Amino acid sequence: MKAYKKYFNQIQQKLQLVHEQSGKIEEAASWISGCMEMGGYILTSGTGHSHIFAEEIFYRAGGFARVIPILDDALMLHKDASYSTEVERMEGYAAQLLGAYSITEKDIFIISSNSGRNTVSIEMAMIARENGAKVIAITNLKHTLSVESRHPSGKKLFQIADLYFDNGGEIGDASVEIEGLGFKVGATSTVIGTTILQAIMVQATENMVKKGLSPEVFSSSNSDEGEEHNEALIKKYKGKIKGL
C-alpha cells in the first residue's frame, strides 16, 4: 500500500475514535453555548504546533466572535522554533502570560497539547480553573501516558482539565512507517484536533439556534454580504479581544 493511503487509513481510524467521544463533544458544546449565552469568552491556547488550534477558531468564517486566542511569539514557531520548546517547559511563564488576560467563571478555556506534559499548558489549565473557568483539553492519550510530566506537581494536562479529548494519535504524533526510514512520518494531531474543535463549535451553535438565540458568528469577509456583518462584530469587540 502506498504511503498516502496508509495515512488516509490512519486518519479514518482516528476519526472513528472522535465519533466514540460524541458524549464529550455534546457536553463541551453545552458548555460553550452556555458560555456564549452568559456573555463569556472562549479563551484558547497551545504551544508549538498546537497553537494552530487557537487560530483555528479565531476570527473564522462560521466561528464565534467572542474567541480570545492566546498567541505568544515565544511559544510559537515562526520566530525561533527550537526556543519555543524551551519556553513551554518554563515554570511561571504561564502566569506571566495570562496576567494580560481576564479569566472569569463565565469563560471556557480550551488548551491543546499533544503530549500534555509541558509546564506552560498545565499551569494555564490550573490558572484558568482557579479563576472559575471550565477547562477543555485536547491531547494524545497514548503519548501522554507514555511520558512523565514536566510540571512540579507531576500531573499532566488531561488530569487538570474538566473535560479532555483524546486525538487518538501515535506516540510522537507521526503515524506512517516507510520501509528504509527509521522514523515514522505523517502527523495526525492537527487533522483530528481541528475536527474535534469544529464539531464542538458547530453543535454549540445549533444549541443556541434551537433556543431561539442568534449566535454572534463571523461570515466570510470575502463574500459581499459577509463583510458588513463582520465589520459590526469587529467594531463591537475591537479592543476587548486582543489581536482582533
CB-CB contact of 35 with 68 (8 Å): no
Query: Which DSSP string do the residues of 56-112 spell out, in sequence order?
Result: HTSS-TTSBS-EEEE--GGGSSTTTHHHHHHHTT-TTHHHHHHTTS---TT-EEEEE
Mean pLDDT of the chain: 95
Structural domain including 161 reads 3-237
The reply to whether 107 falls in a domain is yes
Question: Is a pLDDT exceeding 90 seen at residue 119?
Answer: yes
Which pLDDT tens digit goes with each residue over 34-92?
999 999 999 999 888 999 999 999 999 999 999 999 998 888 888 888 988 898 998 99
The reply to whether 98 falls in a domain is yes
Question: Is a pLDDT exceeding 80 seen at residue 224?
Answer: no
CB-CB contact of 114 with 167 (8 Å): yes
CATH code of the domain in which 97 resides: 3.40.50.10490
Question: Is a pLDDT exceeding 80 seen at residue 17?
Answer: yes
Which pLDDT tens digit goes with each residue over 187-205?
999 999 999 999 999 999 9
Cα torsion through 159, 162, 165, 169, rounded to 10: -20
The reply to whether 22 falls in a domain is yes
Q: Which amino acid is at 229?
A: H
Question: Is a pLDDT exceeding 80 seen at residue 227?
Answer: yes
The reply to whether 184 falls in a domain is yes
The reply to whether 244 falls in a domain is no
The reply to whether 8 falls in a domain is yes
- Number of domains into which the chain is organized: 1
- Give the whole-angstrom CA distance, residue 183 versus residue 181: 6
Which of 48, 111, 110 lies closest to 74 in space, CA to CA?
48
pLDDT at position 78: 87
The reply to whether 243 falls in a domain is no
The reply to whether 242 falls in a domain is no
